[in-house]
Structure 1
Amino acid sequence: MQLSFGPEVEAFRAEFAAFLDANLPEAPEERSKSSADVPEWARRWQRLLFDNGWLLPANPPEFGGRNASVLQQYVHLEELSKRRIYHSFNPQGVGIIAASLLSFGTEEQKHRWAVPILRAELTASLGMSEPGAGSDLAGLRTRAVREGDEYVVDGQKVWTSGAHDADVLLTFVRTDPTAPKHKGISVLLIPTDTPGVTRRPFPSICAPDDLDFNEVYFEGVRVPAANRIGPENGGWTVANGSLGHERNLLWLSHADRLADLVRDFTPHTGHDRDAYATSVMDLHALKLLGSAALARAARGEPDVAALSVLKVMGSEAVQAGTEQALSSMGADGLIHPALSAPPGAHTIGHFASGWFERYTRTFAHTIAGGTSEIQRTIIAQRVLGLPRS
């Protein structure tokens, strides 16, 4: 399969490719593996992208973009992927939190908070999941009580990536405990230096040295009402918009991981040719279905159910393929050295790892951006027409 684009899109790609070739920073050899720990050179890189309209090209120029079309956004990500680079070391802050502020915030909030996040002057983290309310946002219990021009927040978040290095938290709270679960939620932007905010980082089993996850506690935290994003009790709409920013082209990241898997598995195909062939077929199928969804989006026909299919298929294909690669090599898979990047890759923000670490990390991919279970529910209802019960 070969995708082709019109001259306007290809001219956009060529301009961005030339910019990258002329401006790629030289990353130091020793750099942190934590996406939340943002070195100064990475901040300069993100700021350069913002100032030239290449950070989030769909945005208007004043917010780091150039009003790009869906297809132009796709080739922008393709060029980044070819060079194995990230546009930001704070992907949640840029792709979800700043995007949510631009969609639902006031003009003052956009310039006070969104622009500094996009320009890497502030780092932001997303406070959604709670103990007992991981994938079920409607079950959250962190409470915010209005007192004059402030909210007083009490509760706990968990799995909050990068919170220990974040300047602000986009926090989902319950402001009306008497309302139906979906209708009593609001969104507050809470600076992490506010009295009563406590952040406790903890490791994951797949990367014990990478303290990216956090527990976050709120004890009598006073937040100005001016920091509320969207209307009071209108947080469910903000949540759907926030996650929508994350999901639109999420399938492309899974296609990249599958392509990496196929490339790195190639020298070991003698171990299990069937597993290798399955990953190759999954990669082509994902790109074909993703391209069809992309074409519909370019025509103004967004398909939420198709994105759910792509999310489940992509994340689980990466997990299954990595498991097969690890299993087929037996004990060698446990001691395999760090896998190298392809020739010519710049690898800013990408950290090659052995097969076992890669496999353990795949479980995060079936959770982040919407769990496979939740995606299957969406597919059942919106594609198959099955009843909720």
Structure 2
Amino acid sequence: MGLREEARAWLEEALSGEFAHARGLGGPGREHEGFEVRRAWERHLGKAGWTCLGWPVEYGGRAASLADQVAFHEEYARADAPARVGHIGENLLGPTLLDHGTEEQRRRFLPPIQRGEELWCQGYSEPEAGSDLANVQTRAVLDGSDWVVTGQKVWTSLAHVADWIFVLCRTEPGSTRHRGLSYLLVPMDRPGVEVRPIVQLTGTSEFNEVFFDGARTDAANIVGAPGEGWKIAMATLGYERGVSTLGQQIGFRRELDKVVAKARETGAFEDPVLRDRLVRSWLELEIMRYTALRDPQSPITKLYWSEWHRRLGELAQAVQGKAGLVAEGGELNELQRLYLFSRADTIYAGSSEIQRTLIAERVLGLPK
């Protein structure tokens, strides 16, 4: 039995018993849905060996090929399994530690991620350093056996439920831009760490502000050497825009299918202009998939998927017609939530403007 068939059989059994009520929970703008159930599901996945498939076997993975990882994500989506809660640890921090961490860090942090026991969030953006990541002002100083962190992060996804955060901060006094930065791992339950949820257009609070007021973490919790933070942070962004987006695209397919179904229900599918937009959306999603399979870490990936997803949100509103402008009973429907949440896609994880500049300078070799 191949991995695809194995995954299909396991998911069907797992989602027909204890976790039958977890089908379809979560997603963009719906991260609050059934969170404790989804966290239990994450642990269930880990125990059965269905997390971290691409990781080496010695760290709990299966050393699965890219094709097998894609097959699992496809079967996961077809089973309508709940949205994952361990994405940041598994797909961002995990690969970072595998490539740049110490063996001690791998042994400490990778097993709890694989087992679904520890959740992570990403401490990059700041009020004055969003897309301009090199301008971060959060600082850390070494005090005996601890790093002491002071500053503020913002737009921190899932910080309110995370156990740990990886923080890009300035550890060299007087340094500017890319120099003097370090990449620290900080527990969220320490004194001096405060999380304030940000209420979004969807009415939910996936994003948060995180304040550090003398928060301490062990001196060994630095990835790479002091001052190498920029290099490590860029490596993490490469993983964020790489293989992990293949799973994300399966969710996109499911969303597009729901938009098409709504268009048929409302009669919007008979409008040749809207039908053309739906076909274009399908074609662009196919291009996105094959581009990611060919070159998972292309800098074009984030620009492409975020612009596509924002257009899908606009299309979701268009196929609903005037009814899409009203929240029945004060509650957003799934397509309205898709539209509102997708407005942020071209801003977080690197704005479209910054992505175009990077592509121009680093890929096309154009002058600054």
State the AA in 2 paired with 1:364: A
Secondary structure in 1 aligned to 2:344? helix
Greater mean deviation of Cα atoms: 87-96 or 151-160: 87-96
Letter in 1 for 2:340: T
Query: In the alignment, which of 332, 344, 348 is matched to residue 364 of structure 1?
Result: 344
Partner in structure 1 of residue 189 of structure 2: 193
Q: TM-score, normalised by structure 2?
A: 0.85
Instruction: Measure the CA separation in 2 of the matches of 1:258 and 1:31.
Output: 17
Equivalent position to 1:141, from 137, 146, 151: 137
Indicate whether 1:77 and 2:73 are aligned.
yes
Structure 1 residue aligned with 2:7: 16
Runs of 4+ with deviation above 4 angstroms: 28-33
Residue in 2 that maps onto 1:278: 277
Q: Does the aligned pair in 2 maintain the 1:334–1:355 contact within 8 Å?
A: no
Q: In the alignment, is residue 353 of structure 1 matched against residue 353 of structure 2?
A: no
Question: Deviations for 1:251-300, whole angstroms, at most 9, x for unmatched residues?
Answer: 66344243443343333325743133223223223313531441x34xxx
The one-letter code matched in structure 1 to 2:90 is V
What is the 5 A alignment of 1:289-368?
A: 289-294=288-293, 296-297=294-295, 304-305=298-299, 308=300, 310-327=301-318, 329-335=320-326, 353-368=333-348
CA 1:162 to 1:328, structure 2 compared with 1: closer, same or farther past 3 Å?
Answer: closer
Residue 380 (1) aligns with residue 360 (2): yes
Alignment of 1:38-57 (within 5 A): 38-39=35-36, 41-57=37-53
Q: Classify the secondary structure of the residue corresponding to 2:359.
A: helix
Alignment partner, residue 348 of structure 1 = none
Return the offset for 1:367.
2.6
1:34 to 6, 31, 35: 31
Candidates 219, 233, 250, aligned match of 1:239: 233
Corresponding residue of 2:265: 267
Kindly provide the amino acid, as one letter, of the partner of residue 107 in structure 2.
H
Q: 2:151 aligns with which of 155, 160, 184?
A: 155
TM-aligned CA deviation for residue 360 of structure 1: 0.8
Deviation at 1:87, TM superposition (A): 6.5
Q: TM-score of the superposition, structure 1-length normalised?
A: 0.81
Residue aligning to 2:110? 114
Of residues 214, 217, 231, the one that matches 2:208 is 214
Say if 1:138 and 1:181, in contact at 8 Å, map to a contact too. yes
Instruction: Pick which of 166-175 and 144-153 moved more.
Output: 144-153
3-state SS of paired residue (2:2): helix
Deviation at 1:223, TM superposition (A): 2.1
Q: CA 1:233–1:86 in structure 2 vs 1: closer, same or farther (change >3 Å)?
A: farther
Q: Following TM superposition, by how much is the alpha carbon of 1:77 offset from its aligned partner in structure 2, in angstroms?
A: 1.3
**Paired residues, number:** 355
Aligned partners of 2:328, 2:279: CA distance in 1, in Å? 23
Distance 1:198 1:336 in 2: 33
Look up the match of 2:248.
253
Indicate conservation of the 8 Å contact 1:38/1:90, yes or no: no
Q: Taking every aligned residue pair, what percent have the same amino acid on both sides?
A: 37
Please report how far the alpha carbon of residue 28 of structure 1 lies from its aligned counterpart in structure 2 after TM superposition.
5.5
Q: Deviations over 1:174-215 (max 9, x none)?
A: 01143452121111111122121111112112x22x232221
State the distance in 1 between where 2:291 and 2:146 align. 47
Q: Which amino acid in 2 is paired with 1:94?
A: E
Would the aligned equivalents of 2:138 and 2:169 in 1 still touch at CA under 8 Å? yes
Q: Which amino acid aligns with 2:57?
A: P
Question: Where does 1:158-177 land on structure 2 (aligned, <5 Å)?
Answer: 158-177=154-173
Distance 2:134 2:258 in 1: 36
Structure 2 residue matching 1:374: 3-state secondary structure: helix
